[in-house]
Each structure stands twice: as C-alpha cells, then as structure tokens.
Amino acid sequence: MQAQSPQTENNPAECAALFRLKYGRRRFLRMKGGKTMKNKKNLAENIIHGIFLILGLVTVACVLLITVYLVISGIPAIRKIGIMKFLFGTKWASTAAEPEYGILPFILTSIYGTAGAIAVGVPIGFMTAVYLAKVAPPKVKAAVGSAVGLLAGIPSVVYGLVGMMVLVPGIRKLFDVPDGASLLCAIIVLCVMILPSIIKVSVTALEAVPKEYEDASLALGATDIETFFRVSVPAAKSGIAASVVLGVGRAIGEAMAVMMVAGNAPNMPSLFESVRFLTTAVASEMSYAADGSLQQQALFSIALVLFLFIMMINAALNFFLKRSKER
C-alpha cells in the first residue's frame, strides 16, 4: 500500500478525489460488465426472435406457393371446359373419345361424406372427451387415452384395408346390396378416422378450464352433469370448435382409405352406391394423365376446388366462433 503524502492527508478535497478515482473505477467496471452481459442477452433474444420470424414467414410462403401453384395450374382447364359445365356437370369421362369433365358428383359426394362423418363422429368424440376429462377414473383415462393415441397413429391404408375386408362384406350382407363398397362404408371409416383428433383436442380444452369455475357452480347447487355441460363446455368451446375443424379437414382431405372402401365410381351420391370423392378423383387418375393434357389440368382444377372448400369451411367456423365470443 502506497503511503500518502502529508499534504494529501491534510487536504479533504484531494482525499475525496482519490476515493472517487479508486472506487468509482471499480463501479465503472462492474457497470460495464453488466452492460456487456445485458447486450449479450439482448443479442441472443434478437437472434431467437429472428429465427422464429423466419420460420413463420417460411410457413406463410409455403401456403402462398401452394395457392398460387393451384390457381395457375387449375384455371386453364376451367377456362377451356367452362366454369358452369365443370362445376355443375353430372358426368365425368376423362378417357372417353369425347371426354366430359363434370365434377358435381365428386363435390356432392365429398359434402355428403364429410357431413355424415361429422354428424356421427362429433357427438361420439365430444361425449368421450367429456367422460375422459371430467368423469373417468385415472386408470380408465390412461387406458382409453392410450387407445385413442394408438388410433391416431394408424396409417390410412390400414383403415382402408380393414374397411375393405370387414365393412364392405358386412354392408353387402346386412343390407342385401350388390356391392358393399359405398358411401355408407366411406362415412363409417371417416367417422372412425376423425375420432382421435376430436377427442384429444377436446380433452385438452376441457382440462384447461379453471377448476374455480366448476367449484363455484357446485357451490351454487348445480350437479356435476350440469356443471360439465353448462360451465366447463361453454368455457372450452373454442378448443372444441378447433377439434371440429381438424375433424372436417381430416374427413374432406382423406384419399387412400376412402378409395379402398367407396368403390371409386363417378356416380351421383347414393348411400349404397359406389362413389368417388374429390380427393380420390385426383389420386386415381393423376398417375396416368398425360403431362400437359386437359385431363391433367382438370385434375389440378379439382384440387383447387378442394382447397377452396377447406378454406371456406375454416373461414366459416372461425367467423361463427368469433361471433360467439363477442356475445
């Protein structure tokens, strides 16, 4: 330690200056180190935010690219055929000497098949979700939840194979029809396929409802069932609506399983007749359609119509969901 001069010891101003110089430098170094650490943290956060932004932009770009590609590829066939004749024509004969490209049977079949699967699958999936989330004992919930998860992981071709080997002969014998491959068989298979999406998302939404809501309802004298359906379900309606959207998307976009059980014939929809969906029309003919031919362009137009259908369904459900929230 350096010895201070007598003048410095007797001069309070110089002592104060030396103190500020000695300890102020330490404080400055600590502040500088803190700013450096803060700058590093800010840099890391900015990098992470940039990565998330890039991933989000990539997702949006993929959707835009698909949309633009379908529009560019599908519009020429609609122009050549005519939009009214294409959308409302009742006959599809793409390989005939005089081809016809009417997709009304495909549109109606997809609407009827999806509506039937939703009408049957949504109540079953919803009630199962309420049971698992609010009523089932832990062991039963774990077992059923595992089964639902396994059901979600089964490939589409397996659903189609089981339907073709079990449902098709069963419907033929039960209803005494020439062929069991029909719209009814497709509805049953689609109903089973959409159940995992509806159940899992609905269970998650119901379990996210604060327990205080249910406790308050029970304290006011409501029964358990009244609490579940008048408190928990309305509070989780956004998640339940999301599960329905996922189910609709899965049903209307399925191709392989439907192709195996519906007969894949371009007929007007009937419950016990072989039919063809929009998805199966594209999947069944795209492999042998000549490159650049009107048939290939018409198949792209069918894909464009299917894409617009899904967008309209999602937009409609989101609109009604927002209106219900505002109320």
pLDDT, tens digit, for every residue of 52-109? 999 999 999 998 999 999 999 999 999 999 999 999 999 999 888 889 999 999 999 9
Residue 266 predicted with pLDDT over 70: yes
In-domain check, residue 1? no
Cα 219 to chain centroid distance, Å, stands at 37
In-domain check, residue 82? no
CATH number at residue 197: 1.10.3720.10
- Host H or E run for residue 93: strand 92-93
**Structure-block tokens of residue 61:** 């770009």
SS (HEC) of 146-163: HHHHHHHHCCHHHHHHHH
Dihedral angle, C-alpha 210, 215, 220, 222, nearest 10 °: 90
Statement to judge: residues 132 and 182 lie in one domain: yes
- Tell me how far CA of residue 294 lies from CA of 44, 99, 266, in angstroms: 53, 9, 18
Q: Which amino acid is at 229?
A: F
Statement to judge: residues 287 and 237 lie in one domain: yes
Residue 167 predicted with pLDDT over 90: yes
Region 166-183: what's the mean pLDDT? 91
In-domain check, residue 91? no
Across 158-184, b (16+ Cβ under 10 Å) vs e yields ebbebbbeebbeebbeeeeeeebbbbb
Upper half-sphere CA count for residue 162 (Cβ side, 13 Å): 10
Closest CA to 252 of 191, 306, 192: 306
pLDDT, position 104: 94
Q: List residues bridging with 93 in a β-sheet.
A: 100
Residue pair 257/157 in contact by the 8 Å Cβ criterion: yes
Region 190-199: what's the mean pLDDT? 94
Domain of residue 51: give its range.
6-64
Q: State whether residue 233 is helix, strand or coil.
A: helix
Upper half-sphere CA count for residue 289 (Cβ side, 13 Å): 19
Quickly state the pLDDT bin for 246 (edges 50, 70, 90).
confident
Statement to judge: residues 294 and 206 lie in one domain: yes
The region, left, alpha or beta by phi > 0 then psi within -120 to 50, assigned to residue 273 is beta
Statement to judge: residues 195 and 52 lie in one domain: no
User: Is the C-alpha dihedral spanning 41, 42, 47, 52 positive or negative?
Assistant: positive
pLDDT, tens digit, for every residue of 41-58? 788 888 999 999 999 999
pLDDT, tens digit, for every residue of 197-241? 999 999 999 999 998 998 898 888 888 889 989 999 998 888 898
**Structure-block tokens of residue 27:** 């404080």
Closest CA to 192 of 239, 227, 147: 147
In-domain check, residue 223? yes
Q: Token match 């219900």: residue?
A: 324
Residue 38 predicted with pLDDT over 80: no
Statement to judge: residues 206 and 314 lie in one domain: yes
Residue pair 144/225 in contact by the 8 Å Cβ criterion: no
In-domain check, residue 78? no
Closest CA to 264 of 285, 243, 247, 236: 285
295, with CB counted inside 10 A (0-12, 13-18, 19+), is: middle
Statement to judge: residues 237 and 306 lie in one domain: yes
Quickly state the pLDDT bin for 311 (edges 50, 70, 90).
confident
Statement to judge: residues 306 and 245 lie in one domain: yes
In-domain check, residue 235? yes
Statement to judge: residues 144 and 43 lie in one domain: no
**Structure-block tokens of residue 127:** 């009630």
Number of domains in the chain: 2
pTM of the shown model = 0.81
**Structure-block tokens of residue 57:** 């932009």
Statement to judge: residues 166 and 263 lie in one domain: yes
